[in-house]
Amino acid sequence: MARLATATAVVLGLLSARPPVHLFAQSLRVPYQTFTLPNGLQVIVHEDHSVPVVAVNTWYHVGSSDEKPGRTGFAHLFEHIMFMGSQHVPTGAFDRLLEAAGADNNGSTTEDRTNYYEDGPANALPLMLYLDADRMGFLLPEMTADKVDLQRGVVQNERRQSYENRPYGLAEENILERLYPANHPYHWPVIGSMADLQAATLDDVRQFFQTYYTPSNASLAIAGDVTARDARQLVERYFGDIPRGPAVTRTPPPPAQLAGAVGAVLEDRVQLPRVYDAWHTVKAFSADDATLDVLANVLAGGRSSRLYRRLVYELQIATDVVAFQDGGRIDGKFEVYATARPGHDLGELQRVIDEELRKLADRGPTPREVERAQNTVEAQFLSRMERVGGFGGKADQLNFYNYFVGTPDYFQKDLERYARVTPAAVQRAVQTYVTGAHRVVLSVVPQGKPELGVRP
């Protein structure tokens, strides 16, 4: 046993003394060609002939941040309406035609963009482009009050299921209301309010489409088993005659800052209370955006992270803990939330969260913690790049980088942002953004028990 203990100590010593292992790719490129039609539609083509599949990914540069108070939820409502048939593709035919060709499709809406994609065999590319062009250019003739009412009901039901009747589902909406002023584009959730969805008229919806669903306010990424020449011919054939839209102008958002701590208690149909902390940070791709991602991983990324280890393993006062940086086109926020175990209160959780943040502010993370976070980022990044389609696949990422940083092939530079993060940078980010009183502290507690909330 003594020899075994000695051998184990030697091995552990060698492991602790080994140099850091950096997994970051040395040269990551996603070659592309791009062209813009006379009507303003920007097209990005990436050839990947490894398997005979192709992805078509359309980004309309409109999200819930382009809505107006009193008319929220339009961007997400439109995501649904776009599947309700166009002039040459009757209702239901969009899915039916794609499924018959072995393809699938979906869409999503955020604060900053609305995305639609089709993935399927390479020989289905003409069909995919035809369907997307028809709903871009010929949706209005088929847009009726009955279709708007139908999808309005679908979205309202989605709000009930995902927000109002889901445990903790209204937390994010409550945080946004307090983190941003009423006239800020990020003040409301993407899904909008029930009252605004109910108030939407057919004319409102038509005007929204005519303003934002135009070739000049969209970008189209095609990735997979296709040549740039063939892609261009097909895009010109199907999209070339669609008229250019009006120029989209955006008013600069008002400043978003908190004068001090903002506390709130939300009673919900939950069994266990949960505490949320939210701070203003920076928008996507700003200097500290990647650093804050690494901080989130250090705090709650996996079972060896600081907050998970303290709250869930050692003290056993929480069932879970989550941290994330959410950088958007306009602004960003950093959130931490934890759910209390039975018999424990939110004050205990909040004290530990604040303790760990103070430790990071005073001493910073270890090099090993930062390295682990960086390796996690790269592993997840490369996993997404294994596919051309779907959310987060190469076609989607080409559109993402094109819209946010102005160049589609930003893959290597994106990874390099994380490779440059140091323990000192994480320490500075904690000191700058996520300590002090300038935060929203939201307690979600069981109904009838507001006293379980924590004071900021």
235-255 confidence digits (pLDDT tens): 999 999 999 999 999 989 988
pTM for the model: 0.91
Q: Which whole number is the average pLDDT over 67-86?
A: 92
Q: Which whole number is the average pLDDT over 114-140?
A: 97
Q: Is 358:312 a contact under the CB 8 Å cutoff?
A: no
Residue 11 is predicted with a pLDDT of: 36
- For 402-451, the pLDDT digits (tens) are 999 999 999 999 999 999 999 999 999 999 999 877 999 999 999 999 99
Q: Could you tell me which residues are beta bridge partners of residue 108?
A: 115
3-state secondary structure the chain: CHHHHHHHHHHHHHHHHCCCCCCCCCCCCCCCEEEECCCCCEEEEEECCCCCEEEEEEEECCCHHHCCCCCCCHHHHHHHHCCCCECCECCCHHHHHHHHCCCEEEEEECCCCEEEEEEEEHHHHHHHHHHHHHHHHCCHHHCCHHHHHHHHHHHHHHHHHHHHCCCCCCHHHHHHHHHCCCCCCCCCCCCCCHHHHHHCCHHHHHHHHHHHCCHHHEEEEEEECCCHHHHHHHHHHHHCCCCCCCCCCCCCCCCCCCCCCEEEEEEECCCCCEEEEEEECCCCCCCCHHHHHHHHHHHHCCCCCHHHHHHHHHCCCEEEEEEEEEECCCCEEEEEEEEECCCCCHHHHHHHHHHHHHHHHHHCCCHHHHHHHHHHHHHHHHHHCCCCCCCCCHHHHHHHHHHHHCCCCCHHHHHHHHHCCCHHHHHHHHHHHCCCCCCEEEEEEECCCHHHCCCC
Residue 286 tokens read as: 């700003």
Residue 437 is predicted with a pLDDT of: 75
**Domain 262-452 coded CATH 3.30.830.10:** yes
- For 137-146, the pLDDT digits (tens) are 999 999 999 9
Q: Which whole number is the average pLDDT over 293-314?
A: 97
**Domain 33-239 coded CATH 3.30.830.10:** yes
Checking if the pLDDT of 17 tops 50, the result is no
Neighbours of 451 (CB within 10 A): 8
Checking if the pLDDT of 349 tops 50, the result is yes
Give all strands of the β-sheet with 42-47 in edge-to-edge order.
33-36, 42-47, 218-224, 53-60, 114-121, 104-109
Residue 28 is predicted with a pLDDT of: 86
Residue 13 is predicted with a pLDDT of: 44
Domains 33-239 and 262-452 share a fold: yes
Q: Which whole number is the average pLDDT over 84-107?
A: 95
Residue 368 is predicted with a pLDDT of: 97
The pLDDT confidence band at residue 26, using thresholds 50, 70 and 90, is: low
Share of the chain above pLDDT 70, in %: 94
The pLDDT confidence band at residue 228, using thresholds 50, 70 and 90, is: very high
Annotated domain spans of the chain: 33-239, 262-452
Share of the chain above pLDDT 90, in %: 87
Checking if the pLDDT of 281 tops 70, the result is yes
Which residues neighbour 178 within 8 Å (Cβ) at sequence distance 6 or greater? Answer: 262, 264, 440, 442
Least confidently predicted of 13-22, 102-111, 162-171, 391-400: 13-22
Euclidean distance between CA atoms 421 and 288, whole angstroms: 9
- For 307-331, the pLDDT digits (tens) are 999 999 999 999 999 999 999 999 9
Burial class (CB in 10 A: 0-12, 13-18, 19+), 379: exposed
Q: Which whole number is the average pLDDT over 167-175?
A: 97
Residue 259 is predicted with a pLDDT of: 85
Residue 38 is predicted with a pLDDT of: 98
Which residues neighbour 396 within 8 Å (Cβ) at sequence distance 6 or greater? Answer: 57, 115, 117, 221, 389, 390
Checking if the pLDDT of 2 tops 50, the result is no
- Residue whose C-alpha is closest to residue 56's, from 131, 154, 108, 3: 131
Checking if the pLDDT of 7 tops 80, the result is no
Checking if the pLDDT of 27 tops 60, the result is yes
Residue 59 is predicted with a pLDDT of: 98
**Who has greater pLDDT, 26 or 253?**
253
